[in-house]
Amino acid sequence: MGTGKRGLLTAAVTVVCAVTVLAAPGTAFAAPKPKPTATATTRPPAATPTTTPTASPTLPPNKDLEAVREKLDALYHDAAVATDEYNAAEERTRKQSAEIVELAKKIVEGQKRLDDLKDRAGAAARAQYRTGGLPPAAQLILSDDPQQFLDGAGQVLQGQRATKGLIVEMTRTQQDLKQYAQDASAQWNKLEANRKTKAAAKKKIKQQIAAAEKLQSRLEKKEKERLAKLEQEAAHKAQTAWLDTGILKEINGKASEQGKKAVEFATAQMGKPYQWGAEGPDTYDCSGLTSQAWLKAGHAIPRTSQEQWKQLKHVDLKDMRPGDLIIYFDDASHVAMYVGDGAIIHAPRPGRTVTLAGAGEMPILGVVRPDA
């Protein structure tokens, strides 16, 4: 085997092995131990007003805990944005890794083809050598049988044409190999860039979650209970305001067959912990849940909430039906599945589980339909 061939084959094998290493997902960041999440209803029951217990004078007033709640929301929101960046980079990495592997296969196949062409060209050259390399006119003069010579001359002409064809094909194969190598190099550079993007997003996710956990760890037990009450009150207030618009009178769409399957899958995941970057089967992040639900329903959709918002068909809120996806916040950083009667199923954030909630508890950006 020639040095050039060994180099290409070695490079191809190295590419495949290296892709396997780079494409491997990063070490999962363990989500905090989930706490039971209260199941939301279409119209949450009225919250019990909170009062400051006289037995705990050190408890901060509600307005201070409200600031803590808002800060936690901001931290977890930033973590969600970084999670979307991580997931997008991960999806690009998978595609680029697959492309590099295919290019490596083409390089190996192209090298085999080139070797075969060289062998055929060598055989043609050896055949010409056996004729002495004399020009056709000289061979005719020296031949004892002119007719035999003319028959042979026709075969030689065919051989010359075949040789030219071999040369053309060899040149094209060499050009293809060069292009494959350039394409592989370009994909490799993209793969490396995505690795850095994933690493930066992962670092930010950890920082935001750690900051949120540290903030919560400073609270006493009763403060945490009050904070949870404030969160419930805020969700109740937002959902009630949304329902009071009369929106449910307009929403009466029926789920498609695929939509029903997606809802069934999402419902079966309730109670499983949130974990950023997770697509199941034991843990999920918000878009991991929705993308897997629709995949199980037989319809693949983009991995991230932002790409789901960009690529899927937008529908009016009043035309929403079970199985549709509601995208939240101006930056499309959260997604949930509408299940009917003003409710959603979603994977909220670290420390929570897949749960049922009111569709209006968060600011709605819009609605998309996977199976439009």
DSSP characters over 164-184 = HHHHHHHHHHHHHHHHHHHHH
Query: Chain-centre distance of CA 338, in angstroms?
Result: 22
Instruction: Considering the candidates 77, 236, 286, 314, report the single residue annotated as catalytic.
Output: 286
Tell me, yes or no, if 286 is annotated catalytic: yes
Rounded-to-integer distance, Cα 368 and Cα 319, Å: 10
Instruction: Considering the candidates 77, 236, 299, 346, report the single residue annotated as catalytic.
Output: 346
Tell me, yes or no, if 346 is annotated catalytic: yes
β-strands 355-358, 364-369: how paired? unpaired
Are the beta carbons of 347 and 289 closer than 8 angstroms?
A: yes
The neighbour count for residue 223, using CB atoms within 10 Å, is 18
Give yes or no for a cis peptide into 281 (omega within 30° of 0).
yes
DSSP characters over 60-128 = PPHHHHHHHHHHHHHHHHHHHHHHHHHHHHHHHHHHHHHHHHHHHHHHHHHHHHHHHHHHHHHHHHHHH
Are the beta carbons of 335 and 341 closer than 8 angstroms?
A: no
Instruction: Considering the candidates 17, 236, 314, 334, report the single residue annotated as catalytic.
Output: 334
- Which has the closest alpha carbon to 253: 311, 181, 317, 209? 317
Helices (H), the chain: 3-23, 62-130, 136-142, 146-217, 221-243, 247-250, 257-268, 286-296, 305-311
Are the beta carbons of 38 and 233 closer than 8 angstroms?
A: no
* Secondary structure class of 369 (helix, strand, coil): strand
Rounded-to-integer distance, Cα 324 and Cα 338, Å: 6
Rounded-to-integer distance, Cα 298 and Cα 14, Å: 36
Tell me, yes or no, if 314 is annotated catalytic: no
The neighbour count for residue 120, using CB atoms within 10 Å, is 16
The residues annotated as belonging to the active site are: 286, 334, 346
